[in-house]
Amino acid sequence: MTKSITEGVYVPIVTFYKKDGHTIDFDTQIKHAKFLKQNGIQGIVALGSTGENALLSQAERIELLSKLHQAVPDFEIIAGVQQHNIQDCLKSISDFKKAGASVAMVLPSFYYGPETSQQGLIDWFTEVADNSELPVILYVYPGVSNGLQTSPETIRTLAKHPNVIGCKCSHGDVHQYSRIGLDKEVEANNFKLLSGQGQLLLPLFAINGKGVIDALSGCFPKTFVKLFKLVSEGKYHEARELQYVAAEAEVLASQGGFLAIKRAIKEHLGLGESLVGRKPMNHALSDTQWESYKPMYELIKKTEESI
């Protein structure tokens, strides 16, 4: 039987660098992964948009996965894949499997943006899934895909494929979530609906979502793990307070991006020598920008420390 995604909270991890802002800090990557596992996180997504997939070389991607898998072999690693050419995509998946990934989270070929037809997306993803050595999660994120949207109808069609086991939707359109999660055929196809936005965890469960891949949980895992536990147990009233905190704090990720996540991790966990990304993302948040996020940061920090 094709692998199924375990319900829960997953972290799209940042890529840590040494002080030069370029050399990958593998020791910190491993410390962070171990910390997340110890605090109830179900698994990690490496090489996603938060992890700067597009700014790493293929050799670096493989090495990162390999070192993480060797250090935490019983921790699920989902590998982000972004290639326009199908053969390059399949080669990446094969390489990532050998390095220790158990699932591939695949962005569509988005070079031509909205000019790409939905049938073209179905054709592209079907060929990938037919030949992929790993089960596939569809990665729906128009913000990093040249405005290309993968429609609910397209996702429903692809959900029939035995090697397509879920989707991560990194947008806030609950209408689209509903059309995927509440579809009886989709549910019967071993297909899991995941959101990239923890601020939607409580409402997500009302429409049959199964978990989140949330960047802020990489800094405050206990808050999101407890929220998921309460929601999955049907304790919705108790979950509301934590959901409010998560929704307020998610401004850090939605407005500040992965640079704000790196700053939060440094401030709260003391991890990371550098607060920047690779060029052209090599300028850290200004102190003024960070101060504007401090009320949200302090709110979730206080909540995390109380759990």
Is 168 tagged catalytic?
yes
| 306 contact partners, CB below 8 Å, separation of at least 6 | none
CA-based nearest residue to 141, from 50, 256, 43? 50
Torsion sign (Cα): 15, 212, 75, 158: negative
| 3-state SS class at 297 | helix
Q: How far apart are CA 245 and CA 234, in angstroms?
A: 19
Strands 164-169 and 103-106: unpaired
Question: Which residue matches tokens 């919705």?
Answer: 236
Tokens of 219: 């800094």
10, 17, 67, 139: the active-site residue: 139
67, 168, 192, 226: the active-site residue: 168
**Up-side HSE of residue 307: CA atoms within 13 Å toward CB?**
18
Q: How far apart are CA 197 and CA 9, in angstroms?
A: 11
Torsion sign (Cα): 106, 250, 253, 171: positive
Q: How far apart are CA 147 and CA 153, in angstroms?
A: 17
Give the amino acid at 18.
K
How large is the greatest C-alpha to C-alpha distance in the chain, in angstroms?
52
What burial letters (b/e) apply to 191-209, b meaning 16+ CB within 10 Å?
bbbbbbbbbbbbebbebbb
Q: Residues for the chain: how many in total?
A: 307
The annotation places the binding site for pyruvate at 50, 213
Is 184 tagged catalytic?
no
CB atoms within 10 A of CB 173: 13
Cite the active site residues: 139, 168
